[in-house]
């Protein structure tokens, strides 16, 4: 959530920056009007409460002196009624104010490119050589279905579109990929975590998914516990310290977790309808950091390098881009996307997003630390994919395919595959 003091004190600058994210001036004007009304109502009710307290003291004095206190008592009752009416109005104004504030995105870092969409993203660098084929490379879903290690038809039968069964060495490959990632992140200082896969509305609010993006998730109905299947482990990991104060000497703190992710993919009709790129359920290895404000952008660089290092060890070509103001996620101040080369599509596709949210999520979830003077301050939170597992499997299938339809296993994954170096039709079921 934005700092209201920033909005009050630097209004025109904030408006200009948020307009690059699609927020119009009228929306912010309405928030400022509500903020003004809210403060005026608070001041009015506090003044009336002081008057009531003073009147109560005078009533006590009158009674002690044996004097008639009925007029003062009537005045006190009238003040109480007025205070109740103002409090009701204040409650409605605050609810409107809080709802509007909760839907305003984070301020973009002033150094990122300005633009309406992905066309304004800027490439930072590339790494690795794109493989060449003397035949037309097949898409990962064609390879997986031909080998029998991916079954989209069965997934659709039992769950609907955008679900899949991994079978045999396909399932082993998925497991190998995320175990390899977790081992690498643990070596880099991340605390491995298994999180809850169902979280409450307050937790979804803390990281910025609610209230704006409720249509993008799967929520549990007929249950009074307001539970939602996590869209990413970022949600439970970031909220681990919600409403807590972290000792400053413990920062930075790194968490990693592999989890299933559940997304309704609302608004993505017609996009990536085949394959593993855009699923309702998929695995992802997440990285989350809690850092002091002065260290957070250095931590973003390191986090992004962690994701890139996974691809380098897998031998997959990739590029890093910095997202524009119009393409960035709601809670982010700056985001790097890592895009892996996909031969069948002849393009790079996103496989990781690494974001610095600065104090935006921390303000919503009240995650603080004590500075060197013992004063509570908001932490900066960061999150990134290290990596999206299904997309990594898709990239391996396409980049490591052979003309006969088999798939070479990247060398670093062979120990995780029980020594298997290639998936063929003969060994695909792993038995």
Catalytic residues: 263, 278, 350, 353, 391
Residue with tokens 């992004």: 304
Beta-carbon contacts of residue 121 (< 8 Å; ≥ 6 apart): 113, 115, 321, 322, 323, 324, 327, 337
Which of 92-118 are b and which e, b meaning 16 or more Cβ less than 10 Å from the residue's Cβ?
A: ebbeebeeebebbbbbbbeebbebeee
Question: Is the Cα dihedral 2, 208, 289, 337 positive or negative?
Answer: negative
CA distance readout (Å), 28 to 7, 34, 94, 97: 9, 10, 15, 11
DSSP 272-314: S-SSSSS-SEEEEEEEEEEE-GGGHHHHHHHHHHHHHHHHHHH
Give the number of residues written for the chain: 431
Please tell me the distance from the alpha carbon of residue 363 to that of residue 367, in angstroms, as a whole number. 7
Quote the distance between the C-alpha of residue 239 and its chain's center.
11
CB 254 within 8 A of CB 286: no
Q: Which tokens is 7 given?
A: 């909005």
Please tell me the distance from the alpha carbon of residue 76 to that of residue 55, in angstroms, as a whole number. 6
Please tell me the distance from the alpha carbon of residue 167 to that of residue 173, in angstroms, as a whole number. 10
Which of 38-76 are b and which e, b meaning 16 or more Cβ less than 10 Å from the residue's Cβ?
A: beebeeebeebeeebeebeeebeebeeeeeebeebbebb
Which of 174-203 are b and which e, b meaning 16 or more Cβ less than 10 Å from the residue's Cβ?
A: bbbbbebbbebbeeeebeebebebbbebeb
The residues pairing with 29 across neighbouring beta strands, listed in sequence order, are none
The residues pairing with 166 across neighbouring beta strands, listed in sequence order, are 150
Quote the distance between the C-alpha of residue 295 and its chain's center.
20
Please tell me the distance from the alpha carbon of residue 126 to that of residue 145, in angstroms, as a whole number. 31
CA distance readout (Å), 241 to 196, 234, 361, 365: 14, 12, 11, 8
Q: Which tokens is 96 given?
A: 């409107």
């Amino acid at each position: 959530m934005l700092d209201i003091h920033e909005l009050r004190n630097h209004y025109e600058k904030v408006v200009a920056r948020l307009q690059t994210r699609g927020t119009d001036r009228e929306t912010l004007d309405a928030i400022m009007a509500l903020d003004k009304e809210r403060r005026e109502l608070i001041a009015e009710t506090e003044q009336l409460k002081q008057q009531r307290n003073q009147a109560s003291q005078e009533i006590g004095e009158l009674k002690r002196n044996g004097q008639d206190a009925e007029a003062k008592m009537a005045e006190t009752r009238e003040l109480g009624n007025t205070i109740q009416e103002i409090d009701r109005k204040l409650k409605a104004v605050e609810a409107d104010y809080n709802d509007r504030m909760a839907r305003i995105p984070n301020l973009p870092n002033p150094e990122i490119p300005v633009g309406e969409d992905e066309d304004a993203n800027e490439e930072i660098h590339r790494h690795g050589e794109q493989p060449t084929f003397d035949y037309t490379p097949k898409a990962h879903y064609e390879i997986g279905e031909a080998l029998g290690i991916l079954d989209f038809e069965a997934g659709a039968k039992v769950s609907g579109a955008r679900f899949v069964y991994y079978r045999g060495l396909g399932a082993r490959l998925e497991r190998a990929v995320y175990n390899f990632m977790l081992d690498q992140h643990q070596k880099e200082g991340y605390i491995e975590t298994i999180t809850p896969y169902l979280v409450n509305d307050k937790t979804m609010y803390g990281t910025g998914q609610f209230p704006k993006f409720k249509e993008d998730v799967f929520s549990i109905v007929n249950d009074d516990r307001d539970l939602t299947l996590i869209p990413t482990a970022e949600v439970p990991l970031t909220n681990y310290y919600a409403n807590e104060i972290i000792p400053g000497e413990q920062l930075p703190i790194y968490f990693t977790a592999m989890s299933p992710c559940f997304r309704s993919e609302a608004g993505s009709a017609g996009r990536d309808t085949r394959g593993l790129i855009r699923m309702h359920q998929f695995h992802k290895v997440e990285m989350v950091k809690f850092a002091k404000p002065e260290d957070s952008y250095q931590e973003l660089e390191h986090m992004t390098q962690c994701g890139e290092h996974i691809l380098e060890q897998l031998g997959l070509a990739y590029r890093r881009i910095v997202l524009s103001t119009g393409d960035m996620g709601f809670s982010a101040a700056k985001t790097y996307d890592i895009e892996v080369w996909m031969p069948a599509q002849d393009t790079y596709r996103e496989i990781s997003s690494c974001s610095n949210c600065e104090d935006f999520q921390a303000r919503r979830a009240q995650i603080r630390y004590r500075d060197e003077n013992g004063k509570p301050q908001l932490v900066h939170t960061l999150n990134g994919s290290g990596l999206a597992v299904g997309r990594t499997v898709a990239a391996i299938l396409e980049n490591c395919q052979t003309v006969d339809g088999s798939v070479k296993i990247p060398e670093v994954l062979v120990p995780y595959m029980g020594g298997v170096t290639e998936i063929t039709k003969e060994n695909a079921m792993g038995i």
